[in-house]
A and B are shown apart, each in its own frame.
Chain A
Amino acid sequence: MELIAVKKLEAWFGVFQALKDINLSIQENEVVALIGPSGCGKSTFVRCLNRLHEEVPGARVAGEVWLDGRNIYAPGVDPVGVRRGVGMVFQKPNPFPGMSIYENVAVGLRLGGVSKRTVLDEKVEQALVRAALWGEVKEILKRPGTSLSGGQQQRLCIARALAVEPPVILMDEPTSALDPISTAKIEELIQELKTKVTVVIVTHNMQQAARVSDKTAFFLLGELVEYGATEEIFTRPAQEATERYITGRFG
């Protein structure tokens, strides 16, 4: 079933157009990798999917993004409400300082108005289990989130995003600041997550895209050059630009 439909999406930073006429559709429980050279617009694209792009001063968006049957750019839609229903994981692990591991995971639930201790306890545990972190932190839930290692912090951030059970999670280069072992754990995790959520992941690492994703989108200079099954893209790309990029002849 189609979960996300992007239609004629355009995005600007001031006068610079970062995305040009993007059209693409994402199915439920799919992992979609976005690849392309730096500055090609792939990060901007994911940030349009939860209306975060417009938080940058001077940034602007046009077009439609249908999420779960609703155009999130329709007039009158509250971006705060949109973001509550979409998880996001960033390049650098960013747990909230001054907050315990538990509170970091609970924060999204609390924003949504959940305050019952038993409900929080249950959902926090669930999220940490799904993020493959529960075993490592169940004894130290009261310690600051920032006391964990980088890889653990990133899984904590994934748990934070999962806690509100969003249908889709956006990941913006989630492993680029991590060591290879932590990276492998996160990739494994993405595979497990896709049974329940849709993952859109931006990556600079083409092996990663090949390993974790079902579909791959190749962006270049703000345009979507090619989008299709990952295997197709990496073995028989239809566009010459895609082939040149994945074979490392420019980037």
Chain B
Amino acid sequence: MSSSSYELGRDVRPSDLTFYYLLKGLAWGLVLLLLAMVGVIFALSWEALSHFGPGFFFDPSWDSWREQFGALTFIYGTLVTSLIALILAVPVSLAVALFLNELAPSWLARPLGFFVEMLAAIPSIVYGLWGLFVLAPFLRDHVQPPLGQYLGFLPLFQGPPMGVGMLAAGVILAIMIIPTIASISREVFRSVPATLREAALGLGATRWEMLRLAVLKASVSGIVGAVVLGLGRALGETMAVTMVIGNRPQIDWSLFESGQTMASILANQYAEADSSLHLSALTAVGFTLFVVSLAINSLARWIIWRMQRVN
């Protein structure tokens, strides 16, 4: 018998029974709500999906004049900005978590940890404004020129520095997901048993060797979980990205170029879509975003599950 099933004995109080069915109803209600949302989005997307077929996902064009729509540009934009965000945010978050948990004295760790978590409380639109007025000009003047000068042989860093674009979106996303990854990683590190730390110290490990042997190795699956939650946030983040990405539906190798993500095209065009095919194509992009998020989350759960089974 699984622990979730509740055997109703013979002498059940009516109030317990009511409570049981109330909770059961609420739990199932959530599942139904999710299914209903997916169903409705899929139904609304059907016009575009049936019109363009599977090619919708591989078509880079988005032309509301000729009514030719494809999601590839936005899938690309979402994946690339989220990838930049992870590359920047994961090492910083892990370093912050290790520092706060393992190295900082508690009089420093408490306030610092509080501030890191406060980053998660800043509204998305405020990040967007800051990104547009502070981050983008800073990238344009101080980051993109040297990147272009020294790493310009890579297609990633070519073209004129413009500030707004894929790079700015990736950086702002990185800042937004750091609190998520850092605070979950802190919990994961905290759950490493003291006996493992002592095992490492007892062998004559230095502090860093102890962290590597006992803390990081034992935390891998938890860290993957933290990263995926951060990734989930980055994939769906809309407002801040829309404000700094430049909003041009194009696929360009250069991170200095403008782009468009699945979330930002929705935010940009929902109000002005005048044909039903255009509206349906937008909904289909939303549906794609849902599927991509679901797939990445499932993949991560699978990775975590497999790693826990090995250990």
Contact = CB atoms under 8 A, between A and B. Distances in A.
Interface of A: 50, 52, 55, 80-88, 90-92, 94-99, 107-108, 111-112, 144, 146, 157, 160-161, 164
Interface in B190-209: 193, 195-196, 198-206, 209
Given A90-B195, A146-B311, A99 B217 contact: yes
A99 B217 CA distance: 8
Interface in B169-185: none
B225 to A, nearest CB: 15
Nearest to B195: A94
B220 interface: yes
* Most chain A CB within a 10 A radius of its CB, from B198, B202, B206: B202
B109 interface: no
A50 B199 contact: no
A50 B217 contact: no
A50 B218 CA distance: 24
Contact of A111 (B204, B218, B310, B311): B204
A94 B196 contact: yes
B211 interface: no
Contacts of A161: 202-203
A98 B204 contact: no
Interface string B136-171: 000000000000000000000000000000000000
A96 B214 contact: yes
Interface residues of B, number: 20
A95 B202 CA distance: 12
B300 to A, nearest CB: 18
Interface centre among B193, B199, B206, B217 (most CB of A within 10 A): B199
Nearest to B310: A144
Contact of A98 (B200, B202, B220): B220
B304 to A, nearest CB: 13
A160 B203 contact: yes
B310 to A, nearest CB: 6
B273 interface: no
A83 B209 contact: no
Contacts of B116: none
Contacts of B195: 90-92, 94
Closest 7 A-B residue pairs measured CB to CB?
A84-B204, A88-B202, A83-B204, A98-B217, A94-B195, A94-B199, A108-B203
B205 A52 contact: no
Contacts of A55: 198, 201
A81 B201 CA distance: 11
Nearest to B105: A57
A81 B311 contact: no
Contacts of A83: 201-205
B204 A96 contact: no
B239 interface: no
B41 interface: no
A140 to B, nearest CB: 14
B12 to A, nearest CB: 41
Contacts of B311: 97-98, 144, 146
Contacts of B214: 96
Contacts of A146: 311
